[in-house]
Each structure stands twice: as structure tokens, then as C-alpha cells.
Amino acid sequence: AQSVTQPDIHITVSEGASLELRCNYSYGATPYLFWYVQSPGQGLQLLLKYFSGDTLVQGIKGFEAEFKRSQSSFNLRKPSVHWSDAAEYFCAVGLISNFGNEKLTFGTGTRLTIIP
């Protein structure tokens, strides 16, 4: 069965510093990979997704992620964080069943705190 691991429960970064959030997946085939962000009191917003092709994916809000098949990883990065980036970040892997149904499996999330 597919699974997603986000090893870091909580990360604190200074404003202006670079950020990398880790995500590892377990899935037999080439996965569909996603990063979502959830701000307090809000629903989830899609930051970026990877299906195939270029392994470096650009997303919204200046985020990017790199797919590394050899490491089963899909880490999220941002060169310089802003206070507004404080939120919870979720990595997810998509599965398509034999019946053609799509289902997302989420990691447990990483809470990002930004300090001035």
C-alpha cells in the first residue's frame, strides 16, 4: 500500500532564510505527488504537483519541489521564506485504482513557524 512520510513534525525558520520540507513516499509505480498548504482556519491549497517529466516542479508562492526517484523523495523548497508562509504543509501521493478511481493519501504534515 502507498504511504507518505513527513519526518519533521515542526520546523522553525527565520524570515528570509531558506526552507526545505521533507517528504518520502512508498509506492510501487511512478507516483503522482502533491504538496498542499493549510493556513490556520483555512482549507488546503495546492502548492504544486508532479506527474511526470521535469523532476523540478515550480509552484505558487515561490515554492518548488524536486522528485528524486532513487530516494523516493519529493522535498519542498523555498529560497527565502516570508512570515506569511507560516502554516502546515502536507505532502500527498495519488493512487489510481483498477477501477479508475483517484485517491489521495496524505502525510501527517509539517508545521512551519517563522521567526522574525
Partner 1 sequence: KAGVTQTPRYLIKTRGQQVTLSCSPISGHRSVSWYQQTPGQGLQFLFEYFSETQRNKGNFPGRFSGRQFSNSRSEMNVSTLELGDSALYLCASKPSPGGVFADTQYFGPGTRLTVL
Q: Which is nearer to partner 1, 77 or 111 (CB)?
A: 111
CB of 11 to partner 1, least distance (A): 17
Neighbouring-strand partners of residue 75: 66
Enumerate binding residues for partner 1 (CB under 8 A): 32, 34, 36, 41-46, 49, 51, 90, 92, 94, 96-97, 100-109
Q: Which is nearer to partner 1, 27 or 32 (CB)?
A: 32
Q: Which is nearer to partner 1, 27 or 106 (CB)?
A: 106
Q: Is residue 55 within a helix (H) or strand (E), and if so which, with residue range?
A: none
**Spatial CA neighbour of 76 closest among 92, 95, 52:** 92
Cβ count near 30 (within 10 Å)? 11
CB of 80 to partner 1, least distance (A): 26
**Spatial CA neighbour of 85 closest among 11, 6, 27, 7:** 11
